[in-house]
Amino acid sequence: MQETSLNSDLFKQPHRRYNPLIGEWILVSPHRTQRPWQGQVEKTSQEKPPTYDPTCYLCPGNPRAGGNLTPNYDSVYIFDNDYPALLADTPEANFENKGLLVARSERGLAKVICFSPRHDLTLARMEAKDIRTVVDAWAEQYKTLGSLDFINHVQIFENRGAMMGASNPHPHGQIWAEEIVPNEPSKEQAAQAKYFQEHGTRLLEDYTNLELQDKSRVVVENDEWLVVVPFWAVWPFETLVLPKRAVQSIPDLDAAQRDGLADILKRLTTRYDNLFEVSFPYSMGFHQAPTDGKDYPHHVLHAHFYPPLLRSATIRKFMVGYELLGNAQRDITAESSAERLRSLSEEHYSLRG
């Protein structure tokens, strides 16, 4: 029997939600947290970072590890990672023992993209026009790296904040390009291809239209983009950024879509910061079509935001116990998280009098 209302008893008791993008389930236990905002809400003591830090290797004019010098850039700056996880000249090699011990060499490239020369900015504090410059740089890097004959996937991402492992607070992201399609986008590709074959429509395009009708999980939208806490969200304030006009990759976006993406990223990250009045940590990344020259009519460009914070600036969710040994679990429903984010101001908390 299909449930048709989020007010039904099903969603008030322990239940599982299915993630069609990767074919996995999550356990939701709403009875465990009758009030999502129980407990003390603490703020971290933060000093406002300077616009320029002479000790920061990503600030203009400063030396980086290994002797390279960061130039006096005035916009977006991209360079080869000084300590890359992937190398273009990795020799081909294979190892296998009875199908149990298997290894393959992997070639690739790793780059760093500084969003701004200012040390004190984040996407939430940048102007939308400057974020648009970042969007254009992402598009160019996807095209340039994806055109290399040994690159079949380009992963654009950002780790924001020390809690997410960012080694430097300067506003920056990374781009890893490699021979294979990694695990998560590979699972998404398989699911989207299967859905397209069975229904003749795109999974994420249908999901976008469904969320536009339902509205209960919508965080923010503009003419071109939609941000939702996905029905199957794992992290407390996880969001999914979706285009209202489906495209496969960032270079496919027209001018209006690129402007809209810059606008939606600023509005979303501002809400994140305002939630606990802290520079909100997260891992964010785009899933674009592979660059192997094949056709991917089923694929829709989208971005995932995975923030770890749960109830305050200092209380985070950990994936432990049942989640490591069984499957993902959450107490706060996707609908309540979306409502909380949706209700927040779009004026950054640091600008208030």
So which residues are the catalytic ones? 172
Picking from 173, 184, 106, 175, the residue whose alpha carbon sits closest to that of residue 146 is 175
- DSSP secondary structure letters along 49-113: PPS--TT-TTSTT-B-GGG-B----SS-EEEE-SS-S-BTTPPP-EEEETTTEEEE--BEEEEEE
The answer to whether the CB of 291 falls within 8 A of the CB of 172 is: no
Spatial strand order of the sheet with 225-228 comes to 77-80, 108-114, 172-178, 153-160, 282-287, 302-306, 239-243, 225-228, 218-221
Question: Which residues make Cβ contacts (< 8 Å) with residue 269, sequence separation at least 6?
Answer: 122, 123, 124, 280
